[in-house]
Amino acid sequence: MALISLSMGYSQPKRRPKVYRARDAAYPTGGNNGFYIAALPRPYPMTRQQSKVKGVALECGLKKGMTKSELQTKMVDCVGPKMRK
């Protein structure tokens, strides 16, 4: 499956069942082959609480791949007091 990126949209093959012809049918059945073009969904606006948590995480230096001990110390020393403000 190839994903073709467009500005503000994307295109990829349709996921349809294979076209087949029943013995007693006059026309083939099963769907059309081809591609579709669609716009990417807009991001939802962040709530006040979400933006606050995001800002605190950036200030405290929370990131993916942290060890559990680093995360625990930052949660106690930095995130907790800033979220209570």
How confident is the model over 19-40, as pLDDT tens digits? 566 666 666 555 555 666 777 7
**Res 63: pLDDT:** 93
Radius of gyration from C-alpha coordinates of the chain: 25
**What is the residue range of 8's domain?**
4-39
Domain shared by 57 and 35, yes or no: no
Residue owning tokens 């990829």: 12
**Res 39: pLDDT:** 77
Task: Name the residue with higher pLDDT: 1 or 58.
Answer: 58
**Res 42: pLDDT:** 84
**Res 45: pLDDT:** 94
Count of alpha carbons within 13 Å of 4, Cβ hemisphere only? 9
Domain shared by 8 and 34, yes or no: yes
How many domains, the chain? 2
pTM above 0.75, yes or no: no
Domain shared by 8 and 28, yes or no: yes
Domain shared by 80 and 58, yes or no: yes
Provide the β-strand partners of residue 36: 12
Domain shared by 24 and 52, yes or no: no
